[in-house]
Amino acid sequence: MVPHSSDQVSASPISLAPFLHNLGYSVANNNCAGSSPSSTTSSCPSTCDMVPMDLNMTPPISLVTSTSSSLIESSVPTPIMEPPSLSPLLVTPDPPPSVDLPLTTQPPLPPAATPSTTASSSSSIVTRSQTGSLRPRQFQDYQLYFASKHPLKSFLASTLPPEPTCFSQAMKHQDWRVAMGAEFDALLANHTWTLCPRLLHKNVIRNKWVYKLKQYFDGSIERYKARLVAKGFDQRDVRQLDISNAFLHGVLDEEVFMEQPQGFIDKTKPDHVCRLQKAIYGLKQAPRAWFTRLSHALISLGFTEFVSKYITDLLTRTRMSGAKPTTTPLSSSLKLSKTGGDPLPDATEYRHVVGALQYCTLTRLDIAYPVNLLCQFMHSPTTLHWSAAKRVLRYLKGTVDHGLIFTKGNLHLQAFCGFDWASNPDDRHSTTGFGVFFGSCLISWSAKKQAVVSRSSTEAEYRAMALATVDLYWLRMLLKDLCITLPSPPTLWCDNVGALALATNPVFHARTKHIEIDYRFVREKVVNNDISTRYIATIDQVANIFTKPLGHARYLLLRDKLYVVPTTYLLEGGCKR
């Protein structure tokens, strides 16, 4: 017995309530009978009135301990419930339960807290983690949470018969045999199949019975469900390749040093570093090194890296191998719009063809503008758009052996930019195109529809100059990083006198305010001598092949200037000049 003291600290809540609450019981405990109000915690045996809680009722439980009845009265104003002869544990009363089941085993309660371990005030905030009422974070936690919150439903679920995992298990139970018979009768009534002799050259896929026990909302059995399914993964054999530690096979050409990995430092050489001989995950050049190693291996096995093979396969898939070739990818008088022609009933093939043509433009710059034009109608193609796409395929049929040639030349960097003002009949946006040459080799090109409407041809050309200037400046900085010095500033060739005047005129007037950003950018590069602008006649402007459909003679002339020629040209002999 502990003597009563007036300066005794009050008790604080302990986390016993969630333990009882998760078991599904409501607890109400009071002081033991016969103990005086001034006595401390009684040593007499205590009894707990526990009854199962309603499955849908989750009343809060507040459990506190004290060392005297006077502390209980001052710190916990909750009235004491009957019967009076209970343990010194006090629990807030719960509504009378609707079900009274006999209890055979009751969980033991933890001992009451001593004054040295109790808090100084019973009004402190109790967090969810202190009470243990945490939401389940994993599926296993949810199962335990559901079982503690709904013991009756959990018990009913545990009494359900298990679902069979194979046909032999289901045949042992009458209910599953009846379910399979009902499913089989339904398949026969629906004329799902007809029996035929087994053919040796045909693939016969397997099947499997799948079983599911359907339940009502209260957990009772609704019906036994059996379903016959086909093993669709047997329909087609697929071979795939997975290389373990792929990036680690790449061989490095550069010197790269790395610290020794933590936990695996060489005890004899702790101050040494690792000199990488092969690529490792995280290196910037690791993807390139792995691609180089894989490419060499595939080529040695007989694979080819050739665009003409890709074009031939595309013509075969689209049934255009026997089509009549054309000399130009687009008609010079072609004007495509959203409303021209009848909508295609199925646009899948159109999108497939245009998407495949986009890959061809990586090396076949002569179809850059036609593919850019066809991509503008991917959302709702019509018969006219499909006819234009087939004309591009016919052009590739006649030029399947063409490719871009790289020859040795000087280190001069120059670009040709062009435009087609208000060429789009739907929104009157202009088309921009440019090509960048390094020496005599075309290394960068673009065919793009402008995002805004240009009020004049000068404005449209100036926007094209801005895009070409961005590409020129980036290439110049790239060459600088590679320690390649250009003999002179890059040259930008333009066939619009007004746009050239804007680039060199320091006076900024109101008619060019709406293109101020492009104006400032190009003007800054010209003043800083990062680029130089020159005029070129329209007849010699090679960038027009990226902006508009051209006639036969004009198109072939510009294509030759871009060095897009048959690959057989490389095998022809001649005198070097």
Q: Give 449 or 48, the one with higher predicted confidence.
A: 449
Q: Which residue did the predictor score with more confidence, 230 or 97? A: 230
pLDDT for the residue 263: 92
* CA quadruple 435, 438, 440, 441: dihedral sign: negative
Tokens 């009470």, located at residue: 131
Mean pLDDT of 178-207: 93
| pLDDT greater than 50 at residue 111 | no
Quick: pLDDT tens for 335-377.
Answer: 888 888 888 988 899 999 999 999 888 888 899 999 999 999 8
Q: Tokens 């090509």 correspond to what residue?
A: 435
Cα 444 from Cα 436, distance rounded (Å): 5
Is the pLDDT reported for residue 250 higher than 50? yes
Q: pLDDT at residue 9 above 80?
A: no
Q: Minimal CA–CA distance to 88: which of 78, 96, 80?
A: 80
Average pLDDT of the chain is 76
Higher pLDDT, 234 or 63: 234
> Is residue 185 predicted with pLDDT exceeding 80?
yes
User: Which helix (H) or strand (E) covers residue 52, if one does?
Assistant: strand 49-52
Q: Any idea what DSSP says for residue 328?
A: S
pLDDT at 181: 95
Q: What is the mean pLDDT of residues 380-400?
A: 92
**What is the pLDDT confidence band of residue 60, given thresholds at 50, 70 and 90?**
very low
Question: What per-residue confidence (pLDDT) applies to 197?
Answer: 93
Considering 20-24, 82-86, 379-383, the range whose residues carry the highest mean pLDDT is: 379-383
- Mean pLDDT is lowest, of 226-230, 317-321, 571-575, for 571-575
Here the tokens at position 355 are: 């998407």
Inter-axis angle of helices 497-504 and 516-527, nearest 10:
70
Cα Rg, the chain, nearest whole Å: 42
Contact 352, 290 (CB under 8 A): no
Is the pLDDT higher at 500 or at 511?
Answer: 500
Structure tokens, 210: 């799948």
When pLDDT is averaged across residues 512-528 and rounded to a whole number, the result is 70
3-state secondary structure of 17: helix
| Torsion 284-290-291-293 (CA) sign | positive
pLDDT at 300 over 60: yes
Look-up of token digits 């507040």 = 62
Q: How many CB atoms lie under 10 A from the CB of residue 330?
A: 21
pLDDT in the model for residue 164:
92
Question: Where does the pLDDT of residue 257 fall: very low under 50, low under 70, confident under 90, or very high at 90 and above?
Answer: very high
pLDDT at residue 64, as a whole number? 39
Q: With helix as H, strand as E and coil as C, how does 78-97 read?
A: CCCCCCCCCCCCEECCCCCC
More confident site: 410 or 177: 177
Rounded CA-CA distance 478/98 in Å is: 81
Place 22 in a pLDDT band, splitting at 50, 70 and 90.
Answer: low
pLDDT of residue 83: 43
Residues 6+ apart with CB under 8 A from 160: 213, 215, 219, 221
CA distances from 205 to 166, 199, 256, 281 (A): 18, 12, 53, 42
Q: What is the pTM of this model?
A: 0.49
Percent of the chain at pLDDT above 90? Answer: 27
The pLDDT of 28-46, averaged and rounded, is 42
Residue 219's CB is within 10 A of a number of other CB atoms, namely: 15
Whole-angstrom distance, CA of residue 488 vs CA of residue 411: 9
Q: What is the mean pLDDT of residues 304-327?
A: 86
pLDDT average, residue stretch 122-146: 61
Dmax (CA) of the chain: 124
**Model confidence at 200: pLDDT above 70:** yes
Q: What's the pLDDT score for residue 191?
A: 93
Predicted confidence at residue 236, as pLDDT, reads 83
Confirm if 91 and 29 have CB atoms less than 8 A apart. Answer: yes
More confident residue, 93 or 491: 491
Strand partners, 418: 433
C-alpha–C-alpha distance, residues 114 and 378, integer Å: 78
The string over 220-243, giving b where at least 16 C-beta atoms fall within 10 Å of a residue's C-beta and e elsewhere, is: eeeebebeeeeeeeeeeeeeeeee
10 pLDDT more than 70: no
The answer, yes or no, to whether residue 113 has pLDDT greater than 60, is no
Fold designation for 413-566 = Nucleotidyltransferase; domain 5 (3.30.420)
Closest to 301 in 3D by CA, of 252, 246, 241, 248: 241
pLDDT confidence of residue 90: 39
Assess whether pLDDT exceeds 80 at residue 433.
yes
pLDDT in the model for residue 514 = 54
pLDDT at 317 over 70: yes
What per-residue confidence (pLDDT) applies to 129? 66
Quick check: 343 and 367 in contact, CB under 8 A?
Answer: no
Q: Which of 48-57, 368-377, 559-568 has the lowest mean pLDDT?
A: 48-57
pLDDT at 145 > cutoff 50: yes
What DSSP string describes 143-192? HHHHHHH-HHHHHHHHTSPPPPSSHHHHTTSHHHHHHHHHHHHHHHHTT-
pLDDT confidence bin for 170, thresholds 50/70/90: very high
Q: 221-248, pLDDT tens digit by residue? A: 889 999 999 998 888 888 888 888 888 9
pLDDT bracket for residue 531 (50, 70, 90): confident
381 to 272, 305, 328, 335, 376: CA distances (angstroms): 64, 32, 22, 14, 9
Give the domain ranges of the chain: 1-141, 167-193+202-234, 246-300, 307-400, 413-566
pLDDT over 80 (residue 182):
yes
